[in-house]
Every structure is written in C-alpha cells, then in structure tokens.
Structure 1
C-alpha cells in the first residue's frame, strides 16, 4: 500500500515503515504528525484518485530528526572578464517516518 501525499508544498510517494526527507517542518523530535492532503491511495491494486484529495484518507508520521542536507556548490564565472564567484548552500531538512496510511 502506498500513497501520494503533499507535504510542505511537495508531493511524495510514501509507504508504511519508510522515511522521507522533507523541507523543515515545525515540531520537535518524536512529535506525531498527520497529513491530510492525500492525492492518491493504492491499496493492493485498488487505486483511489482524489479530486483534488481523497476524502477520509490520512497519513500519520513521526519526526525522527532535524538535519541539514549535503552541500551544494554554486559557482559563477564569466570567461575573459576576471569574474569568479563561489557560494555554498545546505538545505534544512526534516526526516519523517511514515507510521500508517488510513484510507
């Protein structure tokens, strides 16, 4: 069983017992979360597609930890103009364990 759910403006395919990395969510570690913007639910071949969401469907999860992603290097250069600029960025993430999918 899996579901397509919208978390923090992004869509994720989630399954029970798996974890996802999302943009930083509010809440402490071990806090319970409930996502109700479920767009699609597949229950062993029976697919329910919402318009725009599936009524009565919820995804329950737990925040495992808050962390930062890998460093992304942003490098800009204009040839023959003596212009180089280097910058780095690390995105703030939240690791969420999916506990249950209620359809």
Structure 2
C-alpha cells in the first residue's frame, strides 16, 4: 500500500517503513504524529485520488530525528561597485519513518515510544 502526502509544501510518495527527511515537524524523537493531508492512497491498480485530499485518510509517522540540513551560501556581488553580500542558511529538517497508512478514519495502532526509553537508547 502507498500514499501521496503533502507536508512542508512538497509531495512525497510513501509506503510503510519508508524513512525520509522532510521540512520540520513539531515533536520529539520517538513521537507518533499524524499527517492528514493525504492526496492519494491505494494498492496496485486500486488507487483513490482525493479532491484535494482523501476523506478519512491519514498517515501515522514516527519522528526519528530533528536536525538541520547542509549550509547553503547566498553570495551576491555587483562588479565594479564595491558591493557584495554573503548570507548562509541551514534548513530545519525532520527525519521520519512511516509507521502506517490509515484509511476510513482509523486511529494509529502504534503508540509513542517512552521518553525514558528514548533517552536510554541515545545514551548507549
């Protein structure tokens, strides 16, 4: 089964257990978050396309890591004008794992990991 979700102004085709980096999503690592903007959902030739979203469909994702992308340098120079400007930018990113694709208003089966367990795993 797959779904097309929209988050951070971009669209992603996802399947269960996929791991991807998207624009920042609020939450702590180990939390389960639902993404309600599902544009299409289906399996094989049986695909349901939303107008603009599929009613009752959502995708449960587990936040794996909060981080930042690589630094991008914006350098502008106006020749012979003694004018230049250098700016850097690092985009906030969230690494997510697709837990499950839910249809017909179902609730996620997986619960958020305990914060203590997450801290122990980080310490190891």
TM-score scaled by length of structure 1: 0.90
Name the structure where strand makes up a greater proportion of residues: 1
- Please tell me the root mean square deviation across aligned C-alpha atoms, in Å: 1.4
Measure how far apart 1:53 and its partner are: 1.3
- Mapped to 2, the partners of 1:101 and 1:7 lie a distance apart of 15
Is 1:6 the counterpart of 2:27 in the alignment?
no
Would you say how many aligned residue pairs link Structure 1 and Structure 2?
103
Greater displacement, 19-28 / 72-81: 19-28
- Mapped to 2, the partners of 1:54 and 1:5 lie a distance apart of 10
TM-score scaled by length of structure 2: 0.76
After superposition, give the CA deviation of every residue in 1:40-86 in whole Å (9 maximum; x if it has no partner).
11311211101121122121110001000011010001111121221
Greater displacement, 62-71 / 10-19: 10-19
Instruction: Indicate the residue corresponding to 1:51 in structure 2.
Output: 51
Instruction: Indicate the residue corresponding to 2:85 in structure 1.
Output: 85
- Mapped to 2, the partners of 1:98 and 1:50 lie a distance apart of 20
Structure 1's unaligned 5+ residue stretches are none
Structure 2's unaligned 5+ residue stretches are 104-124
Is 1:64 the counterpart of 2:61 in the alignment?
no
